[in-house]
Amino acid sequence: AFRRAPGEEAVSDLPGFETGEWWVQDAAASLPARLMGDVRAKRVADLCAAPGGKTAQLAAAGAHVTAVEISPSRLRRLKENFARLKLEAEFVGSDLMRFEPETPFDAVLLDAPCSSTGTIRRHPDVAYTKDDEEVRKLAEVQARLLGRAADLAARGGMLLFSNCSLDPIEGEDLVRAFLISRTDFHIEPVRPEEVPGLEDAISPEGYLRTTPAMLRRETPEHSGLDGFFAARLRRAS
């Protein structure tokens, strides 16, 4: 049976957790919502939303968030998290491909299901559980989801695509192919001042690509972050 070392506490037992003062989120996972800029009073869709860290960021920043999640159990967890955090959002239990809002959104966040290879520093087994075929299949799913997410963005609106994969097939290659097929979208490059301390994570094209070796601090225990990919896209007006 798992036993905690002396002095270790469950996250739920830490001060402020039950009262909703904070939530758990890897530093890299917090970047996509930050890259959406000032979302106050904007209608924002968070697609594939659970467990809801990015959803909470957007709601706490003042956005009118619509959180879409296909899994009933994950949607239930998302609602429970929001109740604890005392935040508000509209929750929609739906397959993204069948989600039909009445009006398009000012901004859309799609943090897509992926191979999760960026979490290797916390889950070293991931290098042995995902093969090339599975990664390709996941990339195909992401491409379909991205195409649908694009349709939900209003003219002039933002589309932020992200995932925690280290494979370009699920990141740079996928977005390049999307931009060829959707000429009504263009890249809005990430700027160095938006990611202080992670300027090296910005690619020449303006994508964000973090790796577990980045964000070095005083000790190994406090260094590093998940590998993450993010592309900020803008729909033509």
Give the residue numbers marked as catalytic: 164
- Give the whole-angstrom CA distance, residue 64 versus residue 199: 30
> 235 and 159 in contact (C-beta within 8 Å)?
yes
50 is in an annotated binding site: yes
86 is in an annotated binding site: no
Measured from the Cβ of residue 211, the count of other Cβ atoms closer than 10 Å reads: 18
- Give the whole-angstrom CA distance, residue 146 versus residue 161: 7
42 is in an annotated binding site: no
54 is in an annotated binding site: yes
Distance of CA 209 to the CA centre of its chain: 13
79 is in an annotated binding site: no
> 68 and 84 in contact (C-beta within 8 Å)?
no
201 is in an annotated binding site: no
90 is in an annotated binding site: no
Rg (CA), the chain: 18
53 is in an annotated binding site: yes
Binding residues for S-adenosyl-L-methionine: 48-54, 69, 95, 111
Binding residues: 48-54, 69, 95, 111
